[in-house]
A and B are shown apart, each in its own frame.
Chain A
Amino acid sequence: MNHALVQLAAEAEKENPLIPPWPELVIGLIAFVIVFGFLAKKLLPTINKVLEERREAIEGGIEKAEAAQTEAQSVLEQYKAQLAEARHEAARLRQEAQEQGATLIAEMRAEGQRQREEIVAAGHAQIEADRKAASSALRQDVGKLATDLAGKLVGESLEDHARQSRVIDRFLDDLEEKAEAAR
């Protein structure tokens, strides 16, 4: 066996290790083409598609999150706008109510004033009428009393109507003059 190895070694010296025998080139080519064929035509395109899908899934998730965020933002703004509008509306209503209250109070005050004036005026008229009635009644009573008194005092019957009425009138005129002077 040793002899065979030495012989093999001797033959190997004649072989140049840098000169490739063609059957091995062919097998090398075939072996590589098998690998390249499967990888380039079938397996790498398949995995690339999946890698692309994965990338899209991740980016899609990010896009979705962004969309949700912008939507939330817009909803918030809408809500804020509505709130501001409601506040404005409330302020306006309050203002309106205040104004209405004020006019109502003013109206009522005016009405009260008018009623008071009416009452006062009616009172005045009543007082005037009463005074007039009292005055005329008084005139009669005072005349009669004075006549009776005078008749008694004088002792003479003042039955003469003419005289009687003259005396009364003079008395009353005196009274009126005094009253006017007093006024």
Chain B
Amino acid sequence: MSADPTQTLAFDTSCHLFDGCGFPAPGLHSFMFEPLWGDADGNGLYFNKPMLLALLGSVIIVGFFWAAFARPKVVPGKLQMIAEAGYDFVRRGIVYETIGKKEGEKYVPLAVSLFFFIWMLNLWSIVPVASFPVTSIIAYPAILAALVYVTWVSLTFKRHGFVGAFKNFTGYDKSLGAVLPLSMTIELASNLLVRPFTHAVRLFANMFAGHTLLLLFTIASWYMLNGIGIAYSAVSFVMVIVMTAFELFIQAVQAYVFVLLTCTFIQGALAEHH
């Protein structure tokens, strides 16, 4: 991570087709940022662009909901109506549908916060200048998945006690007979080890892949802008537009999936018989 500190773009702009230099393909390095402040080497403190975008995302979400909900009216204005629609979508469309109205009400704030926070971090991908989905860095999905993990695991213990929680995690079912130990082992590993990992990686990988695709076509559009390559460049640029629209869709879907899974985990933790 100790690259040229002057690097601000994701690729070398001086390189074109037929210039004799290779295609500056996007890769892992596209997700590494020079710190804006501090030193990333060792365990030093630093502050980089994704961090800035993450905090800015928080500010935008809080600002939006503050403007909409801080002085709410029984007869809503336009902004409040939009925010209410979003709130209602998560509350009714996700939480009530999975956990139920009575039990679910307590988890509505978590679900709403997660949904809009993740969506905002995803949306940075197609915002000019920002142009980077913060969730394509594993740390952000990981910390959110960890929070969800702590929430539902502690909830399971609180609700069922130690033995009950163990039965819940392992999918204990006497009717399975001889297969029970095997089934329990698989279920335990699946629920406690694989689940949080896939939860985080699902979001991370989708955003990572999406950003890579966008980068690929963007770089190609620029790189091929020379001689006959201009024709190919145009095709590539159309792909940039198409992929941007597609990403817009994927960003919302991934935020939705993350929250839906969160609610499913909480519902599983609350369930009497697993």
- A residues touching B (Cβ–Cβ < 8 Å)? 1-2, 4-5, 7-9, 11-13, 15, 17-25, 27-32, 34-36, 38-40, 42-44, 46-47, 49-51, 53-54, 57
Contacts and interface: CB of A to CB of B under 8 A. Distances in A.
Contact of B61 (A20, A24, A35, A44): A35
B69 A35 contact: no
A31 B147 CA distance: 13
Nearest to B56: A31
Contacts of B186: none
A47 B81 CA distance: 11
B199 to A, nearest CB: 13
Interface stretch (B46-54, B167-175, B226-234, B260-268): B46-54
Contact of B208 (A1, A17, A21, A57): A17
Contact of B113 (A15, A22, A25, A36): A36
B72 A47 contact: yes
Interface string B59-80: 1011001101110111000000
A4 B3 contact: yes
Which of A1, A21, A39, A40: most chain B CB closer than 10 A? A39
Contacts of A29: 143, 147
Given A17-B138, A39-B112, A46 B70 contact: yes
B58 A2 contact: no
B72 A50 contact: yes
A120 B129 CA distance: 137
A57 B74 contact: yes
B117 A35 contact: yes
B69 A47 contact: yes
A13 B54 CA distance: 25
B66 A38 contact: yes
B187 interface: no
Given A4-B3, A23-B45, A50-B74, 20 more contacts: A1-B7, A4-B4, A4-B7, A5-B11, A9-B27, A12-B27, A15-B28, A15-B32, A18-B138, A20-B142, A24-B139, A28-B140, A31-B58, A32-B143, A38-B62, A38-B66, A40-B109, A43-B69, A47-B83, A47-B87
Given A27-B55, A28-B139, A31-B54, A39 B65 contact: yes
Nearest to A18: B138
Given A9-B27, A35-B61, A38-B66, A54 B74 contact: yes
A28 B50 CA distance: 10
Interface size class of B (residues with CB under 8 A): 35 or more
Contacts of A50: 72-74
A17 B211 CA distance: 14
B139 to A, nearest CB: 3
A53 B74 CA distance: 7
B149 interface: no
Interface string B1-42: 111100100011011000001001001110110000000100
B212 to A, nearest CB: 11
A46 B80 CA distance: 12
A37 B263 CA distance: 19
User: Which of A29, A31, A39, A53 is most buried by chain B, counting CB atoms within 10 A of its CB?
Assistant: A31
A31 B55 contact: yes
B138 A1 contact: no
Contact of A13 (B28, B31, B47, B144): B28
**Which of A11, A38, A57 neighbours the largest number of chain B CB atoms within 10 Å of its CB?**
A38
Contact of A2 (B12, B27, B65, B116): B12
B11 to A, nearest CB: 7
A122 B27 CA distance: 150
Contacts of B46: 23
B113 A46 contact: no
Contacts of A30: 55
A28 B11 CA distance: 26
16 contacts: A2-B24, A7-B3, A8-B32, A9-B28, A11-B2, A15-B32, A20-B137, A20-B142, A27-B54, A31-B117, A32-B114, A36-B113, A36-B117, A40-B109, A43-B69, A44-B87
A27 B48 CA distance: 10
A32 B12 contact: no
